[in-house]
Amino acid sequence: MYPEIQNLHDAYAAAKKDAESLIAGLTEDQAAWRAHPAAWSVAECFDHLALTNRLYVRAMQPAADAARRKNKLRRRPALPGFFGAWFVRSLEPPPKMKSKSPQVIRPRTAPTLAEVSVAFLASHTAAHEFLRANQDLDMAAIRFPNPFIRGLRFSLATALHAIPAHERRHLHQVRAVLTASRSGL
């Protein structure tokens, strides 16, 4: 297996393990706690991740299917280009800049931990399965319309690196929410 593909598989596995450990043993009340009314709860963080992952996979699939039909197999490493790499780095925790999430991926108000943990794990698995199914394609060359920013196109490689980076960012946020809730802030 190519090193950057193995690194991606490792990143997806680590994010899943981290999420499962954060979810384990949480009560619904703990998952619903907010530091202030505008802050996201743990459950809302997982809802946001599930929504984001589902939309990315849905947007990437037609491009991967078309590339497979055209036999666009790997010619170079599955790495983001300059702009894509910058975007992926900007998602890493801790957040370097804050921005509002697009409306389409804002979490629902007060979802339950039970439903969002299942939804997140399913969306995460779908993204990881997408990687497994398409790792033989020329992911650095195949572009798809970004589902969140009209007019912007990403490579499959950029998106597949962005997903675990985005998950790490919000898992970092989950830890901060849990820490704040335990200290009564």
Report the C-alpha gap between 84 and 100 in whole angstroms. 19
Architecture field, domain 3-183: Up-down Bundle (1.20)
Give the pLDDT confidence score for residue 185 in this predicted structure. Answer: 53
Hey, where are the domains in the chain? 3-183
Q: 140 versus 98: which is more confidently predicted?
A: 140
**Per-residue model confidence as pLDDT tens digits over 66-121:** 999 999 999 999 999 999 999 999 999 998 888 888 888 999 998 999 999 999 99
pLDDT of residue 132: 98
In this predicted structure, the answer to whether residue 184 has a pLDDT above a threshold of 80 is no
What's the whole-model pTM score?
0.95
Q: Above 90 in pLDDT, residue 183?
A: no
Structure confidence at residue 99 (pLDDT): 81
138-146 average pLDDT score: 97
What pLDDT does 120 receive? 98
Q: How far is CA 83 from CA 3, 68, 89, 132, 143, in A?
A: 21, 25, 10, 24, 13
